[in-house]
Structure 1
């Protein structure tokens, strides 16, 4: 999690997996919107500002160059509108803080992923998502954005059918610094969670049916194994999880999914050819069971084993063919990889830079343990995903560049025009983004 102890001049900035490192010469930690405005207004054209969030992106999307800015002091609830089922937060609020706050008003987030360390600003800017074919990303929850643009103006914009809304939907921080956000919320609910071990071929044959029978479905495919883990979650009436059971579940997660898996990962780093055997063993040790608890307690899972990640959204209709190719390739151990592949779904979303481009989509995330060479594996993923209409997640390792961005996003020029209007002096355009826009 983010710590202010490391937020000072002379310190290196690094993301969670340490695959992106920079040395900004200025660190900002504003305490109010007016201070954010002043920081932007005082910036010159030789200085770029980057909001770093919780540093959980694997791409350089949050990497600061000359100036790094944290919204750590701009957190918390601003207001609740129970009639409209909406809540307004400061955008620096961490996801793990939101559930308990909303629960006090008998409200909850519509959806979450399994990581809860990020900020609202970060997950909205990058289109971060959970799973559920009827559900969208965090960006889809937004009904109003409050941001400081590149001129230092504070703008509040309600979502409507216009270009600014389509650009703000997934803006990757290029239109300004998101400081407040109003999101749609729903009545407080619990989730009935089940985890089962199943055969890949059987689950693949009924995948389209399964994702419509349950609110949330998530796969963990173990490279080269015929077994997968299938997680399903459905809404039930609000009820607290049994405290004893909660502690047991947490202990199992720490011992098996983090402790034992860390040891196995170290073995693979030392002896890469052991990866297939470790993956098959891991698939047989999948923790099966069920539990019920308030949604914000059930969604997240602790992730202490570090990795690098590349993730693509593909049209849902291409999922089976894509996974057949993945399975066929990895059974031959063409790559030394043991980290499970995560498969999730979302509804289509309108937004100039949304990876779903309005289509029901499957998100497939490929991981490589930190310290193991992912180069050949990730290059294979990139090539393969081109066949299935894949678009990279902005917060994951990607190959976005001026030479290919328009093929991924047909409305890229419209986004570029909105960006230029909101940030004419390129205050937020770091070198990573200059390679895309110039």
Structure 2
């Protein structure tokens, strides 16, 4: 038996029979074929940041920690090919050495790139897509032990790599199609960002939210239930900062003012661990859903909520089961996200369970790596390409080598 694995927040713990860390893609293919041959199962894991048991297994836990680094970088085409276990922090440093950078990053940078992409990890910015949308090609080992190219690597046209259905399925797949062995990412020229974190009253944010979203490259805010204050984070290239700030407003002050490479400036330092529920909703400049959630928290949960509520925006994309997928969002409208964060030392279930139906009222989709209670029956109507994704998944993994009980419930495979 391998050692017990516990996720970052501490809410998911399991003991696999074995843990494998292959050093070459061909070793990974051999491992998958061997696992299939004995009728076993295998789940890949990165940093374990997901707060749901996507990676849980009683059989083989696969770590990609030995498959790291930038394989190639093309500044002229804006492409980089990387290995799946590369941590986001290391990836930022290595891309910078080639004069390149990710378009955007999430709130934390200790995730592995394959896990971040597989769950639709995102940052904030109404014109910036999630990390998954930047993957335009690569290779994966499917459930038959075959290494399969997709997107640009499979010959898809450079102007439209998402014409390849396998790419659109692989962009957000929860590791259910196979194990990524290489990822080709659309990247940008390395750039600096100016980050300003303002503390102000939530009323100022509510009054100015639409303009804040439109005038910042990236903007998000935390609301603190106990004080009714908000922390507004604005990220812009130096010289592109908007005029609108809460300077001079009551209770307002500039908490942080930093400039540096985007991979250093975007992520937050997370010493405190937390549980999280996040839903993706159609963008609404009036923050109607947030206002309703705020009133519910103030009325019922203020005394128990130890942390905050986070609101972000994301551009639409085309991945089959991305929670920001364009067809579902009325022809490509952007998405806003509302996340409930609770210290992992405090109770969260009653709080999350009470707020989750509000997300449903606003046509919300759950973040794949965070707490939610939906299963296949509720999820399928939310994704126009749900059935097609399941077809691709079964084609790539006909024997369910990459399934676990959590994914079986999520995809409706309990009786198959």
TM-score, reference length from structure 2: 0.89
Q: Which residue of 1 aligns with 2:133?
A: 140
Within the candidate set 313, 322, 341, 1:345 is matched to 313
Preserved CA contact (<8 Å) 1:190 1:295: yes
Deviation digits for residues 274-308 of structure 1, max 9, x if unmatched?
Answer: xxxxxxxxx97986131111111101111111111
Alpha-carbon distance in 1 for matches of 2:87, 2:42: 21
Counterpart secondary structure, 2:400: coil
Counterpart secondary structure, 2:43: strand
Total equivalences in the alignment:
385
Q: Which residue of 2 aligns with 1:169?
A: 171
- Tell me the CA shift for residue 46 of structure 1: 3.7
Counterpart secondary structure, 2:54: helix
- Tell me the CA shift for residue 395 of structure 1: 0.5
- Tell me the CA shift for residue 355 of structure 1: 0.7
Preserved CA contact (<8 Å) 1:50 1:65: no
Q: Verify: 1:304 aligned to 2:304, yes or no.
A: no
- Tell me the CA shift for residue 319 of structure 1: 5.9
The within-5 A match list for 1:300-339 is: 300-317=267-284, 320-335=287-302, 336-339=304-307
Deviation digits for residues 306-330 of structure 1, max 9, x if unmatched?
Answer: 1111111000027611111122122
Preserved CA contact (<8 Å) 1:318 1:388: no
Q: Verify: 1:223 aligned to 2:225, yes or no.
A: yes
Q: Which residue of 1 aligns with 2:353?
A: 379
Q: Verify: 1:211 aligned to 2:179, yes or no.
A: no
Counterpart secondary structure, 2:354: helix
Counterpart secondary structure, 1:342: strand
Q: Which residue of 2 aligns with 1:195?
A: 197
Q: Which residue of 1 aligns with 2:74?
A: 81
Within the candidate set 281, 293, 301, 2:260 is matched to 293
Q: Judging by fraction of residues, say which structure has more helix.
A: 1
Alpha-carbon distance in 2 for matches of 1:285, 1:73: 47
Preserved CA contact (<8 Å) 2:200 2:252: no
Q: Which residue of 2 aligns with 1:279?
A: none
Deviates more, 1:30-39 or 1:400-409: 400-409
- Tell me the CA shift for residue 352 of structure 1: 1.6
The within-5 A match list for 1:354-365 is: 354-358=322-326, 359=329, 360-365=334-339
Deviates more, 1:357-366 or 1:332-341: 332-341
Counterpart secondary structure, 2:301: coil
TM-score, reference length from structure 1: 0.85
Counterpart secondary structure, 2:287: helix
Q: Could you say what the CA RMSD is over the residues aligned between the two structures, in angstroms?
A: 1.8
Is the alpha carbon distance of 1:330 and 1:400 closer, same or farther for their aligned partners in structure 2, counting shifts above 3 Å?
closer
In structure 2, the gaps of 5 or more residues are 152-160, 240-249
- Tell me the CA shift for residue 225 of structure 1: 3.3
Q: Which residue of 1 aligns with 2:384?
A: 410
